[in-house]
């Protein structure tokens, strides 16, 4: 006799008219591609726009340098140029060993090409959240909403200048998805695939985001344990195996990176004593009012780092998330991804931070607000459950589609078309290029051979602040 299936029942799809589900099987992914292209098209193609802040000051600089060295037939294990020289390929944020960067190293990493990298990972994030939500809800339109609200969330917009953070956060829903697959079928294969995704994330190179992603994996596993308490040990065993496999697969980068980290300023950092980069309660207002801190009106008056405190992911996110609490398959996953992480990121006064910041890894990171991509994923899953519940409660054929279209317009307007965090409306030459050319000419003619100069103050007027001529 055949063995009974271990597969747990999922939420039944809401009633739909014939053909609706099949149409959205194709329309859903196409909409995700279209929306990400729409939001990134202008900065990818227009010479009158520019990348900002760390994207220009660091990520484009190091990636382009690596690309030029490879094209010249050299592998720059060491670079003698900035900061008195350092082991270049040991720096994890260079992303030298990350396979999705390799085509860009081949083509050359211009400022606009770096935006293409960001678009690719926004798309990866959208598809990961889409597939995860569909697995939980079995409703295509709801899954599309999750993809849009995560991959085009305030985290991906606010951190548009932090390439490695975007790359790592894009892999997070894939870890959760593959863990859930491993718990129900082909355990070994799906756990190894989850480890491969974890390895890709580690190779992308942002330690804090990697750490928070593994925390998200543990929280998601805890949500599964709450549904299936008798399988607790098996669930956590698979959840632990994924980062372990990923760490071994990425050893070519993690080994040198750890050695370099021991000699960095982060080695002596004490997270318990840090007070910057915490989420103040008023910052949550940006979930419903994107201009709460004056980002759009160019009168920013929020916490110090403008890139960290923008959480908007559509005006319907919270109402749908509240409605989605009715779905037991998304409820615990969404709540556990959102509530403990926001509580932690609120810092010492909220209490949980004092405990977590003493744990290995967490004791060496700053700015816990950077965990926002985890609650963003949780809220996106809950909002998707809310849309599925709306479709089930009011069996109106056009209603889910109308909600999705409204969300698309909303996100395009506030996450791209009018958002100054997404990209600069001035050209790269205006912001950086002219100063870089002037500085290059002055340094090449006025600096004696085999000598260095010191520039203790970081001045963007001379071009990117981490440029190899600085």
pLDDT at site 1: 45
Q: Which band of pLDDT confidence, cut at 50, 70 and 90, is reported for residue 14? A: very low
Q: Is the pLDDT of residue 339 over 70?
A: yes
The percentage of the chain sitting over the pLDDT mark of 70, rounded to a whole number, equals: 91
8-state DSSP, 415: I
Q: Which band of pLDDT confidence, cut at 50, 70 and 90, is reported for residue 8? A: very low
Q: Where are the alpha helices (DSSP H) in 152-231?
A: 154-158, 163-184, 187-204, 207-227
Does some domain include residue 140?
yes
Q: How many domains does the chain have?
A: 1
Q: Which residue has the tokens 């726009």?
A: 49
| Average pLDDT of the segment spanning 323-332 | 91
Does some domain include residue 182?
yes
Question: Element (H or E) spanning 407, and its range?
Answer: helix 399-412
Between 67 and 11, residue with greater pLDDT: 67
Helix axes 399-412, 20-45, angle to 10 degrees: 10
8-state DSSP, 86: B
| Average pLDDT of the segment spanning 300-307 | 94
pLDDT at site 435: 76
* C-alpha separations of 160 from 255, 330, 346, 401 in Å: 28, 28, 23, 29
Q: What is the pLDDT of residues 219-237, one digit of tens each?
A: 999 999 998 888 999 999 9
Q: Is the pLDDT of residue 105 over 90?
A: yes
pLDDT-wise least confident of 121-130, 270-279, 423-432: 270-279
Q: Which band of pLDDT confidence, cut at 50, 70 and 90, is reported for residue 86? A: confident
Does some domain include residue 461?
no
Q: What tokens were used for 390? A: 């709306």
Question: Element (H or E) spanning 156, and its range?
Answer: helix 154-158
pLDDT-wise least confident of 140-149, 160-169, 187-196, 296-305: 296-305
CA 253 to chain centre: 20
pLDDT at site 88: 92
pLDDT-wise least confident of 111-115, 116-120, 161-165, 426-430: 426-430
Q: Which residue has the tokens 């300023």?
A: 265
pLDDT at site 15: 45
Q: What tokens were used for 407? A: 């969300």
Does some domain include residue 69?
yes
Q: Which band of pLDDT confidence, cut at 50, 70 and 90, is reported for residue 456? A: low
Residue 279 and residue 285 in contact, taking contact as beta carbons nearer than 8 Å: no
8-state DSSP, 432: I
Does some domain include residue 432?
no
DSSP, collapsed to helix, strand or coil, labels residue 424 as strand
| Average pLDDT of the segment spanning 243-268 | 84
Residue 123 and residue 276 in contact, taking contact as beta carbons nearer than 8 Å: no
Mean pLDDT of the chain: 90
pLDDT-wise least confident of 3-12, 55-64, 245-254, 285-294: 3-12
Q: Where are the alpha helices (DSSP H) in 72-137?
A: 102-107, 111-137
Does some domain include residue 30?
no
Between 328 and 156, residue with greater pLDDT: 156
**String of DSSP letters for 211-227:** HHHHHHHHHHHHHHHHH
Does some domain include residue 54?
yes
pLDDT at site 460: 62
pLDDT at site 267: 66
Does some domain include residue 307?
yes
pLDDT at site 257: 81
Residue numbers of the domain that contains 143: 50-267+280-417
396 C-beta neighbours (distance < 10 Å), count: 11
Q: Is the pLDDT of residue 277 over 50?
A: yes
pLDDT at site 9: 46
């Amino acid at each position: 006799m055949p063995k009974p299936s271990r597969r747990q029942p999922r939420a039944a799809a809401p009633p739909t008219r014939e053909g609706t589900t099949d149409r959205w099987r194709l329309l859903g992914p196409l909409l995700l591609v279209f929306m990400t292209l729409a939001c990134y098209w202008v900065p990818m193609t227009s010479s009158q726009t520019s990348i900002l802040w760390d994207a220009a000051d660091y990520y484009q600089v190091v990636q382009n340098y690596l690309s030029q060295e490879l094209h010249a037939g050299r592998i720059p294990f060491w670079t003698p140029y900035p900061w008195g020289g350092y082991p270049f390929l040991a720096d994890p944020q260079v992303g030298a060993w990350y396979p999705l960067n390799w085509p860009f190293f081949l083509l050359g990493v211009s400022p606009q090409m770096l935006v293409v990298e960001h678009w690719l990972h926004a798309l990866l994030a959208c598809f990961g959240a889409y597939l995860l939500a569909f697995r939980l809800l079995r409703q295509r339109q709801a899954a599309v909403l999750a993809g849009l609200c995560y991959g085009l969330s305030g985290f991906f917009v606010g951190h548009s200048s932090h390439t490695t953070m975007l790359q790592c956060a894009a892999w997070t829903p894939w870890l959760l998805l593959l863990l859930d697959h491993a718990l129900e079928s082909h355990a070994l294969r799906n756990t190894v695939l989850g480890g491969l995704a974890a390895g890709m994330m580690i190779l992308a190179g942002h330690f804090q985001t990697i750490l928070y992603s593994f925390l998200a994996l543990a929280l998601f596993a805890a949500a599964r344990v709450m549904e299936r308490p008798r399988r607790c040990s098996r669930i956590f065993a698979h959840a632990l195996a994924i980062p372990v496999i990923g760490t071994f697969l990425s050893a070519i980068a993690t080994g040198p990176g750890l050695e370099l980290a021991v000699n960095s300023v982060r080695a002596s950092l004490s997270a318990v004593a840090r007070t910057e980069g915490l989420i103040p309660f008023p910052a949550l207002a940006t979930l419903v009012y994107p201009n709460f801190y004056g980002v759009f009106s160019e009168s920013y008056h929020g916490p110090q780092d403008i890139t960290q405190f923008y959480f908007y992911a559509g005006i319907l996110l919270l109402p749908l998330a509240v409605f989605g609490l009715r779905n037991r398959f998304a409820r615990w996953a969404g709540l556990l991804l959102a509530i403990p992480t926001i509580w932690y990121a609120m810092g010492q006064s909220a209490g949980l931070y004092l405990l977590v910041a003493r744990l290995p890894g967490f004791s060496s990171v700053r700015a816990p607000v950077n965990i926002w991509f985890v609650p963003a994923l949780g809220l996106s899953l809950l909002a998707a459950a809310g849309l599925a519940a709306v479709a089930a409660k009011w069996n109106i054929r056009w209603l889910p589609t109308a909600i999705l279209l409204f969300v698309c317009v909303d996100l395009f307007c506030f996450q791209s078309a009018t958002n100054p965090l997404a990209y600069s409306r001035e050209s790269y030459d205006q912001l950086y290029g002219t100063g870089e050319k002037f500085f290059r000419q002055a340094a090449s003619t006025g600096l004696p051979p085999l000598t260095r100069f010191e520039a203790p103050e970081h001045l963007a007027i001379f071009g990117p602040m981490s440029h190899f001529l600085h």
